Amino acid sequence: MLNQASVEHDIYLFHQGNLRYSYQLFGAHPHTEDGEEGYRFALWAPNAKQVSVVGDFNNWNGSKHPLKKMNDNGIWYGFIPDLKEGTIYKYEILTPHGHLRLKADPYGFSSELRPNTASVTYPLNKYSWNDQQWMKRREKINIYESPTSIYELHLGSWKNIETEVYYNYREYADMVIPYVKELGYSHIELLPITEHPFDRSWGYQTTGYYAATSRYGTPDDFRYFVDQCHQNGLGVILDWVPAHFCKDEHGLRRFDGEALYEYQDPIKAEKPQWGTLTFDFGRNEVQSFLISNAIYWLKEFHLDGLRVDAVASMLYLDFGKEEGQWQLNEYGGRENLEAVEFIKKMNEAIFEEVPNVLMMAEESTSWPLVSAPTYIGGLGFNYKWNMGWMNDMLKYIEMDPIHRKHHHNLITFSLYYAFNENFVLPISHDEIVHGKKSLLNKMPGDYWKKFANLRAFLAFMYAHPGKKLLMMGTEFGQFDEWKDLEDLDWELLDYESHASTLEYVKELHQLYNDMPALWELDHSEEGFFWIDPNNYEQSIVSFARNSRNKNDQLIIVCNFTPEVYHNYKVGVPHEGSYKEVFTSDSTHFGGSGQTNGLYLETKADPWQGQNQHIEMTIPPLAVSFLKRTSSPKEEIE
């Protein structure tokens, strides 16, 4: 039996917006009552006149298993004996207007395979985890000073059996994990796997917030995927969508006949850009629903973080709207004040309940302090996607090199604000879909130059301050843009240029993981300084990356034209010998082989603001990484 005092306290917290584990109260849970085993049900539907649980088990007859209303708190509850795991069910709701509606459970832990839409009974706690070592390590790691490179993954189009027929989460684990691990990534980020009716929404228009989509198997199959990632040293981040939900009839829209999860004001509720509805962030019960949902994925599935989608659309009342589609807030501004307070409350709750996870905001504006703690006025995330860097760099890299000198600021401007937030540098699915071209195919020039540009771009990205994210397929230079209903063009790996690109990304990750200068001070001005940001005529920039150990310093030289320069002078801060530890122009990767094979001795003539300089060969459309050696003569001998 449930403890009545505990239930009443939970209900009080739910209505206050402070029930962080509301999924333990609501939904369908295995239960024993008067010696009978079955499932108990609880639902928030304050406007309903009557609620019943219906399914195949009672021939969808709402008269057989009605729920009872608990006082005036809008909660309906009941117990149905003899129900088993895997039973499909919906709620039959009689609205205030006398209409009967069939709704999936907002707290349903599993769903039928689309196009069917019923919820499915599924217990929370039957999976046995084997990732204890990972979870203990996660408690101690300083993510800010660790190498973080993220592989963005859409399971169904990574590899499938045929169009819209997919492998199981467990089969994906066996295929994906060895591949991503060998490439050297630290994390996998999954596009939303919350249940959604339309494959081509990619999960961003959700109906089942608590259900791992049945396209790929059961919730425990998904737990297995995460468990195996952890056992193989890979973290898992989930794209999470609290900004809006889709309007499908079985979902949250006008759930009990009235606006319940969405704003009652249609001007605030509607997101015309996506044809979806905005959550009512000011409603306490909706806050409990969403905050509990975030904690649910982090706790019940051991996820290592959430990438929160479309944060800007939450923050601004006018986001994606035309004149007449939005109204000013009470102070005459365009900020959604309720959403701002909700975001802060959500992040505070998450870091109290699940410390040391990643909360990454996809926030595309200049809203201040997105990744700062709430106690200093921040939104409370610990990372923000650097959309400014992404837009500038993609605009720059798509230009013919002959024009790049006129837009040199596009590769330098990001360093003016690189340390204002904790940034992730993203090249995500949004940039390589729907006519935008793949990253490789954005590159100008002939076949060789496209691959050289791609290698240079990726090397610059990994040398730039900030954590890294790359969409799947980029690692082997997919020519076609992302095709969401087809799998990746794996056959390209039969061709040398694509196989070499895959090897390049693998070795770039190895360099990245081995060099603390590329990540240890990512979020501190001490971790970076320009050597020469101003050579726009030749489209060359040079800079240094530092770690806490001064001996780990790297000098990075980037050339964004196809010209080769010999005896090019680069200022360096320390006397000694410098070795080229990595170059994107190596013939091993398909480059031209304009490398610096010998040690580069410093000359005591100041240059570019540094006390010393070296002379080196600058390869075409390439990036070179240099490191000072302590005893070069011994190494040569």
pLDDT tens-digit map of 517-570: 999 999 999 999 999 999 999 999 999 999 999 999 999 999 999 999 999 999
Q: Using DSSP bridges, classify how beta strands 187-190 and 149-153 pair: parallel, antiparallel or unpaired.
A: parallel
Instruction: Kindly state whether residues 245 and 336 are assigned to the same domain.
Output: yes
What's 457's domain CATH number?
Answer: 2.60.40.1180
pTM here is 0.96
What's 54's domain CATH number?
Answer: 2.60.40.10
Q: Using DSSP bridges, classify how beta strands 305-308 and 358-361 pair: parallel, antiparallel or unpaired.
A: parallel
Give the domain range for residue 27. Answer: 4-120
Instruction: Kindly state whether residues 199 and 232 are assigned to the same domain.
Output: yes
Indicate if the alpha-carbon torsion angle 451, 455, 458, 460 is positive or negative.
negative
Q: Which helix (H) or strand (E) holds 14?
A: helix 4-16
- The answer to whether 571 touches 556, Cβ cutoff 8 Å, is no
The token duo for 246 is: 């889709």
Q: Which helix (H) or strand (E) holds 392?
A: helix 387-397
Instruction: Kindly state whether residues 443 and 547 are assigned to the same domain.
Output: yes
Amino acid at 609: G
Instruction: Kindly state whether residues 172 and 35 are assigned to the same domain.
Output: no
Tally of domains in the chain: 3
* Annotated active-site residue in 92, 105, 221, 309: 309
Distance, C-alpha 543 to centroid of its chain: 29
Residue 279 lies in a domain: yes
Catalytic residue status for 480: no
Question: Could you read off the pLDDT of 439-494 as tens digits, one per residue?
Answer: 999 999 999 999 999 999 999 999 999 999 999 999 999 999 999 999 999 999 99
Instruction: Kindly state whether residues 245 and 275 are assigned to the same domain.
Output: yes
pLDDT above 70 for 623: yes
Cis amide bond preceding 115, omega within 30: yes
Q: Annotate 541-586 with DSSP letters as a single string.
A: EEEEE--SSGGG-EEEEEE-SS--EEEEEEEESS-SEEEEEEETT-
What's 263's domain CATH number?
Answer: 3.20.20.80
pLDDT for the residue numbered 3: 75
Instruction: Kindly state whether residues 481 and 520 are assigned to the same domain.
Output: no
Instruction: Look at residues 149, 176, 306, 309 and name the one whose alpha carbon lies nearest to residue 238.
Output: 306
- The answer to whether 14 touches 62, Cβ cutoff 8 Å, is no
Residue 625 lies in a domain: yes
Report the distance separating Cα 557 and Cα 540, nearest Å.
7
Residue that has been written with the tokens 């400014």 in this structure? 388
- The answer to whether 256 touches 95, Cβ cutoff 8 Å, is yes
Residue 350 lies in a domain: yes
Exposure b/e, 76-92, CB count within 10 A at least 16 = b? bbbbbeebeeebbbbbb
Catalytic residue status for 494: no
* Annotated active-site residue in 362, 431, 475, 487: 362
Residue 251 lies in a domain: yes
- The answer to whether 615 touches 572, Cβ cutoff 8 Å, is no
Question: Could you read off the pLDDT of 90-142 as tens digits, one per residue?
Answer: 999 999 999 999 999 999 999 999 999 999 999 999 999 999 999 999 999 99
